[in-house]
Amino acid sequence: MKRARSPLFLKRGSYRKRRLRDGARMLPVFGLFLLLLPILWAPAETEATDTARDGLYLFAVWFGLVVVAALLAPGLAEETSGDEGEER
Amino acid sequence: MPFNLLVLSCLAYVAVLFSVAFLAERRAAMGRIGWLRSPMIYTLSLSIYCTAWTFYGAVGYAARSGLEFVTIYLGPTLVFVGWWLLLRKLVAIGRQQRVTSIADLISSRFGKSNFLGVVVTLLAVVAATPYIALQLQSVTLSFGVFASGTPEGWALPDRDSTAIWVAGGLALFTILFGTRNLDAKEQHHGVVLAIAVEAVVKLVALLAVGVFVVWGLAGGPVELFQRIEASPIADWELQPGRWAGLLFVSGAAVICLPRMFQVMIVEDGEERHMARASWAFPLYLLLMSLFIVPIAVIGLERMPEGANPDMFMLTLPLAEGQGALAMLAFLGGFSSATSMVIVESIALATMVSNHVVMPIWLKLRPKAAMSGDVRRIVILSRRLAIVAVLTLGYLYYRLSGGSAALAAIGLIAFVGVAQVLPVLVGGLYWRGATKTGAAAGLVTGFAVWIYTLYLPSFGPGAALSVAVFEQGPGGIGWLRPQALFGVAGADPLLHSLVWSLALNTAAFCIVSLFTFPGPVERMQGVAFVNVFDAEGGGPQGWARGRAEPEALLVMTQRILGNEAALALFATEARTQGKDGYLPDATPDFVAGLERRLAGSVGAATAHAMISQIVGRATVSVEDLMAVANETAQIMEYSAQLETQREELTRTARQLREANEKLTQLSVQKDAFLSQISHELRTPMTSIRAFSEILTEGDLPPEMVANYGRIIHEEAIRLTRLLDDLLDLSVLENGSVQLNLGLANIQQLIDRALASASHTRPERVFVIHRDLPSENLFVRTDADRLVQVFINLISNARKYCDAAAPELKITVRQKSGRVSVDFADNGSGIPKQSQAIIFEKFARLTDQTRAGGAGLGLAICREVMANLGGTITYLPGQGGAAFRVMLPLRLEQKAA
């Protein structure tokens, strides 16, 4: 019901906020993809050593997720604390 | 390092924790919450995810299966980084519904069903027991490492006695700080701060060992890289199924573990905090995992063949002669174990008391909600539950012999609690999820998990016979616990995870599709799924005006305590535009009250208790539809119209009340006029008659004296009446001169009791006082205050109709104000009269004509107004009760 009454196009600020939320929703999906990626190259009992390299990769992805989440968090928190009404 | 030094520092550490918790509780009690509730503390308290399993077990895990251990921390990372998807909604619901545990959340969502609460509680207890045993085991093992390595020839300390000491100490701490209070939504400031401190200790300890290993032993990161390449775990084997499965199950566990739910949602769920934790908690996990592989690699390289890799955190520094570092690591491990056990047992105790003990107790004594002291029962049952949970953990540790590798036990518990996830997510996003469906899913998942993973974990021939393992129960091959439906050869953990969750979800969805939810279920479904649409709104289930507010107040007092209940009711009364402590029992108010009570005793119990008073447990679907139609119509009106109407209603209610009061007053005024003429005429008549006789003369002198005395007494009575009237008018004009000075409340009450004892001296009153609390100095007009006290005490003496009259005087001091309560055990003042007793000439009955014209309480009210205080009637105290409030220090101009 609420949806129906909201305008079709938003102001620039509100538009940005909506996309920030979308980003927050996508982040874990990207993260999951990157963390499942090692399955593709499937480190197995082979001659090649890969623990150190794979470890570097995993921790890099991990740290990247932390940084992106930290960048998104202030915007999301600010948005939730108020102006739901301004968007409509 | 001497073993007794270790024990000593361990005790010192525990003492520090106790004082941290104590100071935090004190601070919170004084209302200075401040940074006790900050995003930082919140994030640190989340770190109980990292138990001794992380601290010791992760190194062992890495030594055995390479990088697989990181999945345990990557799953939660994904969940927190994606907080906008799930956690945000969970936090909002937790706040709005005042959820006390994960069992309460599930029970509340599915129509406050207690059966679901019991199932989740049972599941949580079964899954947590080995986990708690694991913590006890790790502390015992770490003690053992120190003891065996000492050159002084310390014998290995008795393992069982170490474990029992640790369990006992933890029970004590948890009971002291985990069951102090019942109100305020299950928040434990002391425990949370202690856990935050422990979080720092374990992080620092792990980083310290890591830094020592990388730069002290391995010779820097580059060198380390080569050593990892050369180590036995250089070539790890990624099993795709386990990798994905563990990512999933650890993500599920971080939401569903009772202790995580406790710190994440119950203790301090707030979006602001969650936003910070969304990146800070993954960062914490990253730091905790950073040095695990290096420690494992260097440990494997340097420690002798066959050394337990689970203990590398301790044995490595010890072997290198770093006693202090080993000690720090020991404290880190100790912290990880203790904080987990404390929070887990609080969470489990809350579930057990709210979903098992309270419903049974209410069933056995249905009237007890009104008469018994519910608070005491709840707190007692929680304490007993804490002891029981720790005893279970200890027994499991004794029976299992503490042999299995740490990681295995932890993962079994993870799969167990993950069984709650389908129902949780379904309940949050799907309105069609029903109670029967949830019960079917939970019971199926629980049973499959027990059969395929929990029981087999004891080993073949222990809980399940070897025959069952190999041929299946009764020779049915496709029911073999580790090859269900003929899926043989899979990793047992993955096998159990897939089957339990698949069957669980299937049962939940299919049964939900075919069943019809009850009305309360449907309402709760809307409230949960649409939590962001209608903040605090949604149709309410309680019909108007059925509940007697006073009965609600009495019940609330039993749960929240006197002060909190009175404050809650007074606030509500004020928002409804009424004076005093008794608001109308509007549906909104009753629903809000139910949520508030749910914060203490859980949704199902609160619902049951309220329906005892409101007299109706459910609404019908037709009622619901009616409410929904009505709501839709109302939404058509503009918001402005709505507020105007509300305002009008409020004004009308106030007008009605004012009108009622005026009518009553006018009746009283008439009554008073006849009363006052009567009061004036009676003495006048006797004065006139006797003076006439006297003027006739010729009387014996003793008769003259007698008549003279009567005339004198009647004149005094007249004067007193006129004095009272005069006093009242002076007080009302505010032109009274106050004589301010310091006075001791205790002495004032003594004075008042002595003076009031002349009123009906034949009645013997039992007076209950608490002398130490009365020893308070206030700056006020002592004589005026005593006047008020005398009046209240004499009233009690006059009107208290109990056979063995008692009077209870309670003095409290709170934020610069002093309150003095006078409560007797008579029949009290009926509700309809409570509004007028402070009016002039209001006298309720004429049963005892004890002089005075009904001016006493009116004078009291005026006196208190002049002293900058108030006097109010306290309902629901089992008799007539008055509360006198006055400022601690009255300034000259206040009058």
Neighbour tally for B290: CB within 10 Å:
17
- In-domain check, residue A12: no
- The predicted model gives B608-619 an average pLDDT of 62
Q: Encode pLDDT of B434-485 as tens digits.
A: 999 999 999 999 999 988 888 887 777 677 777 777 777 777 777 777 777 7
Helix (H, G, I), strand (E, B) or coil at B767: strand
Higher pLDDT, B363 or B770: B770
A67 pLDDT more than 90: yes
The CA R_g of chain B, rounded to the nearest whole Å, is 35
Confidence (pTM): 0.70
Residue B143: the pLDDT is 79
A-B CB pairs within 8 A amount to 125
The one-letter code for the residue type at B38 is S
For B871, the enclosing helix (H) or strand (E) is strand B870-873
Least Cα separation, residue B477 to chain A (angstroms): 32
CA–CA gap between residue B102 and residue B97 (Å, rounded): 12
A45 and chain B: CB distance < 8 Å anywhere? Answer: yes
Domain assignment present for A26: yes
**C-alpha closest to that of B512 among B602, B442, B579, B607:** B442
Beta-carbon contacts of residue B424 (< 8 Å; ≥ 6 apart): B102, B105, B106, B255, B256
Residue B283 contacts residue A64 (beta carbons within 8 Å): no
Share in percent of chain B as helix, strand, coil (round to 5) = 70, 5, 25
Pairwise CB contact (< 8 Å): A36 & B271: no
B445-468 b/e with 16+ CB inside 10 Å = b?
bbebbbbbbbebbeeeeeebeeeb
For the sheet with B817-824, list strands across it: B766-768, B806-814, B817-824, B881-887, B870-873
Which positions in chain B touch A32 (Cβ < 8 Å)?
A: 78, 247
Q: How confident is the model at residue B630 (pLDDT cuts 50, 70, 90)?
A: low
Q: Specify if A11 maps to a domain.
A: no
ipTM of the complex: 0.85
Q: What is the spatial distance between Cα B573 and Cα B502, in angstroms, rounded to a whole number?
A: 51
Residue A10 lies in a domain: no
Q: Is B283 exposed, middle or buried (0-12, 13-18, 19+ CB in 10 A)?
A: buried
Q: Please report, rounded to a whole number, the percentage of residues in chain B having pLDDT higher than 90.
A: 11
Full set of structural domains in chain B with CATH: 3-407 (1.20.1730), 542-621 (no CATH), 641-733 (1.10.287.130), 741-894 (3.30.565.10)
| Tally of residues, chain A | 88
Judge whether A66 lies within some domain.
Answer: yes
Nearest CA-CA partner of B524 in B236, B107, B229, B47: B107
Find the CB nearest B234 among A51, A63, A66: A51
pLDDT digits (tens, 9 = 90+) for B663-711: 888 887 787 777 677 777 777 888 888 888 888 877 888 888 888 888 8
The answer on pLDDT for B618 being more than 90 is: no
Q: CB A24 to CB B283 under 8 A?
A: no
- From B105-119, B199-213, B246-260, B541-555, the region with the lowest mean pLDDT: B541-555
Q: Does position B842 have pLDDT exceeding 70, yes or no? A: no
Structural domain boundaries enclosing A26: 18-42+52-80
A68 within domain boundaries: yes
pLDDT value at residue B114: 84
DSSP annotation string for B776-787: -EEEE-HHHHHH
Residue A43 has what pLDDT?
A: 63
The answer to whether B91 touches B274, Cβ cutoff 8 Å, is yes
Query: What pLDDT is stored for residue A4 in this prediction?
Result: 45
The residues on B that touch A, with CB distances below 8 Å, are: 66-67, 70, 74, 77-85, 88, 225, 228-231, 233-238, 240, 243-244, 247, 271-272, 275-276, 278-280, 282-283, 286, 289-290, 293, 533, 635
Binned at pLDDT 50, 70 and 90, residue B285 comes out as: very high
The residue whose two tokens read 């004076």 is B579
Q: Residue B884 is inside which H or E element, if any? A: strand B881-887
Does residue B624 surpass a pLDDT of 60? no
Are A81 and B247 an interchain contact pair (Cβ–Cβ within 8 Å)?
A: no
How far apart CA B96 and CA B89 sit, in angstroms, is 11
Q: Tell me how many domains chain A contains.
A: 1
User: Across the interface, which of B88, B238, B293 has its CB nearest the CB of A43?
Assistant: B238
Q: What backbone phi and psi angles, to 5 degrees, belong to B809? A: -115, 120
pLDDT of residue A44: 61
| Whole-angstrom distance, CA of residue B13 vs CA of residue B336 | 13
B777 pLDDT more than 70? yes
Residue B778 has pLDDT above 50, yes or no: yes
Q: Which of residues 5-24 of A touch B (CB under 8 A)?
A: 21, 24
Instruction: Compute the nearest-CA separation of A3 from chain B (Å).
Output: 11
Can you tell me the distance from the alpha carbon of B41 to that of B35, in angstroms, rounded to the nearest whole number? Answer: 8
A67 located within any domain: yes
Exposed/middle/buried for B755, CB within 10 Å: 0-12, 13-18, 19+? middle
Q: Are the Cβ atoms of B275 and A2 closer than 8 angstroms?
A: no
- Residue B183 pLDDT greater than 60, yes or no: no
A48's CB contacts (< 8 A; 6+ apart) are B235
Give residues with Cβ within 8 angstroms of B651, minimum separation 6: B577
